[in-house]
């Protein structure tokens, strides 16, 4: 999801049958032309805030959460673990969140988060909702800000039986995910890690471990642009470096740089390639607490 100039490309707008059905249902717009016009207008406004390529080529319309086998495990956690909490980090408009809710994950146990708070508001515009009709918790912030997510080891024991009220956190305008430490059964983040250098990706991985529940079966999962040969590439707009992984280099990063010696024994990393897409090879992955 590299930064680019100019504006969105309407000729890149496509929806398959499942996507078309979803967006018609959740926007209430049945006419194909009017639906495209509505979505394009929202994408153009969002592109002015931050010019991600996924906005320019309408990649945000895909359900990235479906690209990882972790999605099935997420839904299982939602139906079998009491009060399982789910964080979608870098959620953009909340498309994947709405898909998970449609497939059965309890809406009251979901937290959306993105650096760009405006994107969550654009999500309401896109789906013609508001905080009353779609009351999923949203907490914006910068993943590298310690007050947002601390850089500390993951919990080794289950935290006290204190119920986390997502509604209360939002009502109090909390600007941190730290109160959720050890309470998150699942964390999803897609089209996110590939925006950063490898050393930054290691820091993000450690921070997500900090938030994850120590209960066996808790997962961090997602997908991103990958490469058969891992490589550092330059962001063409800002000249910043970012790193694209192969399945092996992704697993090696977690096992050799994210985990400490003890953590290697209690976490499992899976990764592989899915289908190609507009930006290149798509790498899926799951980190599971054993």
Same domain, yes or no: 204 and 267? yes
**Pairing status of strand 267-273 against strand 281-289:** antiparallel
For residue 230, give Cα distances in angstroms to 53, 54, 87, 223, 244. Answer: 21, 21, 28, 15, 6
Asked if 218 and 212 touch (Cβ cutoff 8 Å), the reply is: yes
Residue 52 has pLDDT above 60, yes or no: yes
- Mean pLDDT value of segment 238-260: 92
Same domain, yes or no: 153 and 277? yes
Rounded to two decimals, what is the model's pTM?
A: 0.94
Same domain, yes or no: 32 and 85? no
- Mean pLDDT value of segment 115-129: 97
Token pair recorded at residue 269: 């990393």
Same domain, yes or no: 20 and 146? no
Residue 163 has pLDDT above 80, yes or no: no
Asked if residue 1 is part of any domain, the answer here is no
Instruction: Give the other-Cβ count within 10 Å of 55's Cβ.
Output: 27
What is the span of the domain harbouring residue 30? 10-61
Residue 47 has pLDDT above 80, yes or no: yes
Cα gap 177→200, rounded to integer Å = 19
E strand or H helix at 18, and its extent?
Answer: helix 17-27
E strand or H helix at 75, and its extent?
Answer: helix 70-80
Cα gap 198→258, rounded to integer Å = 11
Q: How many CA atoms lie within 13 A of 29 on its CB side?
A: 16
Determine phi and psi for 42, rounding to 5 degrees: -65, -45
E strand or H helix at 167, and its extent?
Answer: helix 166-171
Asked if residue 5 is part of any domain, the answer here is no
Question: 3-state class of 207 per DSSP?
Answer: helix
- Mean pLDDT value of segment 57-69: 95
Q: What residues contact residue 181 under an 8 Å CB cut-off, 6+ apart?
A: 150, 152, 155, 159, 210, 211
- What pLDDT is stored for residue 1 in this prediction? 45
Query: Which of 40, 61, 82 is a domain's end point?
Result: 61
- What pLDDT is stored for residue 212 in this prediction? 97
Same domain, yes or no: 45 and 111? no
Same domain, yes or no: 48 and 119? no
SS (H, E, C) 34-68: HHHHHHHHHHHHHHHHCCEHHHHCCHHHCCHHHHC
Distance in angstroms between the alpha carbons of the first and the last residue of the chain: 31
**Residue 157: pLDDT band with limits 50, 70, 90:** confident
Angular region, 155: left φ>0, alpha ψ -120 to 50, beta rest:
beta
Q: What residues contact residue 81 under an 8 Å CB cut-off, 6+ apart?
A: 185, 215, 217
Same domain, yes or no: 224 and 130? yes
Cα gap 80→144, rounded to integer Å = 33
Structural domain count, the chain: 2
- What pLDDT is stored for residue 236 in this prediction? 57
Residue 3 has pLDDT above 60, yes or no: no
Smallest CA-to-CA distance from 41 within 74, 83, 13 is with 13
Same domain, yes or no: 146 and 129? yes
Burial class (CB in 10 A: 0-12, 13-18, 19+), 138: buried
* For the chain, the helix, strand and coil percentages under 3-state DSSP, each to the nearest 5: 40, 20, 40
Same domain, yes or no: 72 and 188? yes
- What pLDDT is stored for residue 290 in this prediction? 96
**Residue 239: pLDDT band with limits 50, 70, 90:** low
* Mean pLDDT, the chain, whole residue set: 92
């Amino acid at each position: 999801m590299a930064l680019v100039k100019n504006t969105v490309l309407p000729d890149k707008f496509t929806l398959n049958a499942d996507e078309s059905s979803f967006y018609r249902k959740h926007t209430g717009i049945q006419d194909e032309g009017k639906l495209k016009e509505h979505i394009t207008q929202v994408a153009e406004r969002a592109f002015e805030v931050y010019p991600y390529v996924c906005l320019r080529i309408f990649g945000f319309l895909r359900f990235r959460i479906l690209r990882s086998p972790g999605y099935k495990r997420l839904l299982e956690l939602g139906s079998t673990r009491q009060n399982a909490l789910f964080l979608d980090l870098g959620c953009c408009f909340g498309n994947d969140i709405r898909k998970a809710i449609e497939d059965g994950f309890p809406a009251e146990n979901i937290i959306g988060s993105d650096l760009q708070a405006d994107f969550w508001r654009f999500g309401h515009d896109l789906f013609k909702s508001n905080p009353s009709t779609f009351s999923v918790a949203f907490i914006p912030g910068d993943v590298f800000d310690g007050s947002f997510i601390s850089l500390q080891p993951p919990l080794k024991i289950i935290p006290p039986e204190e119920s986390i009220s997502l509604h209360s956190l939002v009502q109090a305008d909390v600007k941190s995910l730290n109160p959720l430490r050890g309470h998150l059964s699942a964390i999803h983040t897609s089209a996110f890690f590939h925006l950063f250098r490898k050393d930054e990706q290691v820091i993000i991985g450690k921070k997500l471990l900090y938030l994850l529940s120590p209960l066996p079966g808790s997962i961090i999962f997602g997908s991103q642009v990958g490469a058969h040969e891992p490589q550092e590439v330059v962001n063409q707009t800002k000249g910043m470096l970012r790193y694209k992984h192969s399945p092996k280099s992704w697993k090696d990063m977690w096992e050799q740089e994210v985990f400490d010696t003890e953590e290697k024994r209690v976490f499992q990393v899976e990764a592989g390639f899915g289908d190609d897409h507009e930006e290149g090879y798509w790498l899926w992955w799951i980190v599971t607490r054993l």
